[in-house]
Structure 1
Amino acid sequence: MEEWFILCGCLWTIFVLSYTVYISKTLHKNKKKIEDFHKDKANLSVGFFHPYCSAGGGGERVLWLEVSHLLEKFPTCKIIIYTAEQTTVDALTDKVYKQFGIRVLPKFSLVFLESAFLLEPKEYPWFTLLGQAIGSMFVAIEALLRYTPNCFIDTTGFPASMCIARFCFGCYVVCYVHYPTISSDMLQVVKQRQIKYNNRTFIAKSYLATQCKLFYYRALMFLYFLTGKCADVVMVNSSWTKQHISVMWKPQYLKIVYPPCSVKTLLDFGLSGRKQHWVVSLSQFREEKNHAWQLFIIHKLIQQHEEKDLQDFCLVMMGSTRHEQDSERVTQLQKLADDLKVSSYIRWIINASREQIDYYLSRATIALHTMRDEHFGISLVEFMAAGVIPIAHRSGGVEKDIITHENNTEEYVAILEKLLFQLSEEQMHSIQCNMRIRVEEFSDETFAAEFTKYLLFPRC
């Protein structure tokens, strides 16, 4: 028995020493890659870890604008997109142009990830965040075995992939954080036993389950801290995200790079002759976007007004769906609209093209945005540039960087009533003009220049 313990101890010592040597060599290799990356900008190879690259959301706009800018600035740069979607470069560039109006040179390569199903939340009915984190490590291994760039960029929010890129493949690692995977705000929701999409009813109602989930979240926060340490450069999209990331990761290089918003065309939209009672909503049909709340707001508004006051009233709900779960969510929302008897006031535009979005933004006067703790909200900036007055939740990056508006159903309804029925055309025009002044710093050009500068020169 004693010999067995000695043997195990020796084997463990050999393993630890071997692993230490391996990590040391990898870090040395990583340091050399960083030096090469900054010296030889003519021969960059950059891999973007973005499995759902055609999903049509704000994160995808970030991805494609930066890909487009890198290809134009560095024609010899080799760009790789690690994707879960079986498509072609030409089909993808066409889709990106329809979604965002961004022309991307078809000079990048796609690496299809067969293991990408491991990233799906439906694969982990329990311990979803942990399951996705572990799954993303296996997906990253597949990605980097298929092609290893000298720069690996996570633009989709799977920080565990950065550990693989840095320690197993010696890549220079960059990430653009839209939203922290785990945050102190999420802990507060569990502590206060609130029922939300990420805190089920039976957990909120049970003291023991709440304590177990708090332990789980704290463990995740520690793991999140470790994964964050693997990034050489960290960029975030808002003051709110920066506040959380600076506390959790304490990165050496951290910078706010506001996401790209295509405001040039929107600023040209006229402000007169609009449909006074048209309200728009624009976001991916994800659970946290809280579209159901918008239907309840409209239901309450209708209850408080006679039908003749709302003859030309319409809520246009535009957004994209990433997969079957999102499509099912749209079906559930449509059923809820029927149950609330508001269907006749709703217009659904699923997977809206850029042309459709611009059509409604040029005619509407008000926008609804109901996500709590929105990290930034590209659609909010687009609303403001287009002269559409947004009503948004007073939290997250929306509060810190963009606007301050409403907090509960009654407040939403009250401000809707004011905008729909009480303000004069001159008062509305004054609000719209003031909004447009605010959005000038949120442009495609500013984002692309800042992202590339900080990617190549993090000390600037």
Structure 2
Amino acid sequence: MVAQSRAMGETENDRNAAPTVFPEPVIQTTQEEAPSYQTAWLLLYSLIIALSIFLLMIVIVKLISVWNTRKNFKKWQFNLLSHPPVVVGFFHPYCNAGGGGERVLWQSIRALQSRYNFIRCIVYTGDRANKESIFSKVKNRFGIDLARGAIEFVYLKRRGCVEAEKWPRFTLLGQSIGSFFLGLEGFLNFVPDVYIDTMGYAFTLPLFRWIGRCKTASYVHYPVISQDMLQVVQNRENTFNNARWISRSRFLTKCKLYYYRLFAKFYGFVGRRSNVVMVNSTWTHRHISKLWGCGRLFIVYPPCDTSTFQQLPIARSGKHFTIISIGQFRPEKKHEVQLEVLKEFLSYVRPEIRKNVKLVLVGGCRNSEDDARVTILKNLAKSLHIDKNVRFELNIPFQDLQNELKNAKVALHTMENEHFGIVLPECMAAGCVMVAHNSGGPKDDIVVDWQGNKVGYLADDKENMASCLVEVLNSSDMDRRTMAEAARASVDAKFSVSVFEASFLRATEDLFG
């Protein structure tokens, strides 16, 4: 069954995805008040020193005698075969989070257990939950049955070093170096035969491949750095990951560009230490192939629980026109754009119909910052005079999510360059007509015509999105149902659990040959 956290709006690139840029505070300054050249050079020197420390740590670890860690295998309570099994280590510090990334982890383990009888698995995790509690959550949230005796855990104590909150400056570099030390902790506890990073911590790969002599693989949900991020800085755009005091200064912009480009080189270097690379979408494939330059690169779409949502009735009757949005209340999800789209849409609707229109924002709030964003959105709805047409559903259970989807005619998704967007296939499987931004995974993989039939709408801006909503409103029940049925068939054929398992096993078969 789909994770309850997904019911709260978690997507594949939530806290379980690869390390992301922590929003830098926006400081209202004038050009004269911006940091000095000396500060900028200090920034560059700090980067060089940090990279030097990272390289020094590799040399130090190289000198550590850790080969006897393979003897630690005796302490794992596996049911050994007549010959030693192949031990596969999965690096997933948030294995108990219950999001889309965790479904990838557990479905991967399930696929290996189904095919190979000599596989035993180790999961490197920072969660403190006990073994049975983790397995129980996997069963309840994902409906995945595992051979529990063939799985053990290495509990990591230093997971905090990869938290974005720990690195308010140099977030990319800080999290990457932190992931190396977290990987080192796991490495010193146990060295597997095959090492698979399923969270995007590429800086752990050299450690296990060079020193541990492991075969390595990666499943990349989202590139740590991308050409889009470089373009934002180069264009001097003020966004959540490019503070105003940097975007207003040509010199600081150049410094940040050098920092990003140098980091991208290191990111590509460590990424190429992976024998097999799997990515979750065409968009991610495009960026990783350019950054890593690796040969064996497979698109393995994440497993979507399409079968559960297909049980919902596809017919949508009644005079109410409900639009649903599912996603955590994070800045990049652009919920404020959804409110502006609704405002634009209502301007085209007759008053007698307008009262039956409702936008339902379903999402999870991770912390006080997310709670504050919800408050801002509620105030924005009031200022736009659409608050009577908006309803917020926070942290709701899965059953309530199903009820919301059952009543919705349209699903709205406004994030730009969404790498995949696991909620899109799920909404389409539930029978909603999808309206999404014309970029990333929705454009390349999901909202794509199926067997000559249209499966949804793509739009570049709020005006076009509003026009798409008008078109759905004015379409007949038969036309809407035809589109919904085509969408349901397409996501089942491309993103189901069985498709994921077959793709994952095909990509990794050389690791066990």
Q: Same fold (TM over 0.5)?
A: yes
For 2:487, the aligned partner's letter is M
Q: Distance in 2 between matches of 1:22 and 1:91?
A: 36
Q: Is 1:55 the counterpart of 2:97 in the alignment?
A: yes
Matches within 5 A, 1:276-287: 276-287=320-331
The alignment yields a C-alpha RMSD, in angstroms, of 3.2
In the superposition, relative to structure 1, how do residues 163 and 21 fare at CA in structure 2: closer, same or farther (>3 Å)?
closer
In the superposition, relative to structure 1, how do residues 26 and 143 fare at CA in structure 2: closer, same or farther (>3 Å)?
closer
Could you tell me which of 348, 352, 355 is aligned with 1:311? 355
Equivalent in the alignment of 1:455 = 508
In the superposition, relative to structure 1, how do residues 73 and 350 fare at CA in structure 2: closer, same or farther (>3 Å)?
farther
Contact 2:215 2:511 in 1 (8 A): no
- Greater fraction helix: 1
Equivalent in the alignment of 2:428 = 384
Q: Distance in 2 between matches of 1:21 and 1:138?
A: 11
Equivalent in the alignment of 1:237 = 280
Could you tell me which of 341, 350, 353 is aligned with 1:297? 341
Give CA deviations for 1:153-199 in whole Å, capped at 9, x if unaligned. Answer: 11112211212222333322110111111111211111222222222
Q: How far did 1:130 drift? A: 0.8
Q: Distance in 1 between matches of 2:110 and 2:357?
A: 40
Could you tell me which of 253, 262, 265 is aligned with 1:219? 262
Contact 1:55 1:322 in 2 (8 A): no
Matches within 5 A, 1:387-402: 387-402=431-446
Give CA deviations for 1:221-263 in whole Å, capped at 9, x if unaligned. Answer: 1111111111111011112211221122121311111111122
Give CA deviations for 1:362-387 in whole Å, capped at 9, x if unaligned. Answer: 33111111111111222111222222
Contact 2:348 2:470 in 1 (8 A): no
Q: Distance in 1 between matches of 2:93 and 2:201?
A: 10
In the superposition, relative to structure 1, how do residues 354 and 205 fare at CA in structure 2: closer, same or farther (>3 Å)?
same
Q: Is 1:416 the counterpart of 2:469 in the alignment?
A: yes
Q: Distance in 2 between matches of 1:337 and 1:128?
A: 33
Q: How far did 1:148 drift? A: 2.2
Q: Distance in 2 between matches of 1:145 and 1:97?
A: 30
In the superposition, relative to structure 1, how do residues 273 and 391 fare at CA in structure 2: closer, same or farther (>3 Å)?
closer
Q: Distance in 1 between matches of 2:307 and 2:122?
A: 29
Give the TM-score of the pair, scaled to structure 1. 0.84
In the superposition, relative to structure 1, how do residues 303 and 122 fare at CA in structure 2: closer, same or farther (>3 Å)?
farther
Could you tell me which of 364, 371, 374 is aligned with 2:415? 371
Q: How far did 1:21 drift? A: 13
Equivalent in the alignment of 2:181 = 138
Give CA deviations for 1:291-339 in whole Å, capped at 9, x if unaligned. Answer: 2322332344345546542333322323345556545544554454455
Q: Is 1:358 the counterpart of 2:402 in the alignment?
A: yes
Contact 1:387 1:433 in 2 (8 A): yes
In the superposition, relative to structure 1, how do residues 459 and 402 fare at CA in structure 2: closer, same or farther (>3 Å)?
farther
For 1:431, the aligned partner's letter is M
Could you tell me which of 214, 229, 250 is aligned with 1:186? 229
Could you tell me which of 474, 477, 487 is aligned with 1:425? 477
Q: Distance in 2 between matches of 1:215 and 1:378?
A: 34
In the superposition, relative to structure 1, how do residues 385 and 116 fare at CA in structure 2: closer, same or farther (>3 Å)?
same
Q: Distance in 1 between matches of 2:109 and 2:401?
A: 23
Q: Distance in 2 between matches of 1:103 and 1:344?
A: 44
Name the SS for the 1:114 alignment partner: coil
Equivalent in the alignment of 2:488 = 436
Could you tell me which of 262, 265, 273 is aligned with 2:308? 265
Q: Distance in 1 between matches of 2:334 and 2:266?
A: 28
Equivalent in the alignment of 1:251 = 294
In the superposition, relative to structure 1, how do residues 81 and 450 fare at CA in structure 2: closer, same or farther (>3 Å)?
same
Q: Distance in 1 between matches of 2:396 and 2:135?
A: 17
In the superposition, relative to structure 1, how do residues 414 and 269 fare at CA in structure 2: closer, same or farther (>3 Å)?
same
In the superposition, relative to structure 1, how do residues 155 and 341 fare at CA in structure 2: closer, same or farther (>3 Å)?
farther
Q: Distance in 2 between matches of 1:142 and 1:20?
A: 14
Name the SS for the 1:195 alignment partner: coil
Name the SS for the 2:239 alignment partner: coil
Give CA deviations for 1:74-114 in whole Å, capped at 9, x if unaligned. Answer: 46633222223221233333333444343445443333322
Give CA deviations for 1:339-396 in whole Å, capped at 9, x if unaligned. Answer: 5454443333334443333322233111111111111222111222222111111111
For 2:485, the aligned partner's letter is C
Give CA deviations for 1:124-169 in whole Å, capped at 9, x if unaligned. Answer: 1111111111111111111222232222211112211212222333
For 1:61, the aligned partner's letter is R
Equivalent in the alignment of 1:445 = 498
In the superposition, relative to structure 1, how do residues 317 and 86 fare at CA in structure 2: closer, same or farther (>3 Å)?
farther
Unaligned runs of 5+ in 1: 1-14, 31-39
Contact 2:219 2:278 in 1 (8 A): yes
In the superposition, relative to structure 1, how do residues 146 and 307 fare at CA in structure 2: closer, same or farther (>3 Å)?
farther
Which shifted more, 445-454 or 281-290? 281-290
Equivalent in the alignment of 1:174 = 217
Q: Distance in 2 between matches of 1:157 and 1:96?
A: 21
Give CA deviations for 1:180-220 in whole Å, capped at 9, x if unaligned. Answer: 11111211111222222222233223222221211111111
Q: Distance in 2 between matches of 1:41 and 1:290?
A: 54
Could you tell me which of 70, 78, 85 is aligned with 1:43? 85
Name the SS for the 2:360 alignment partner: strand
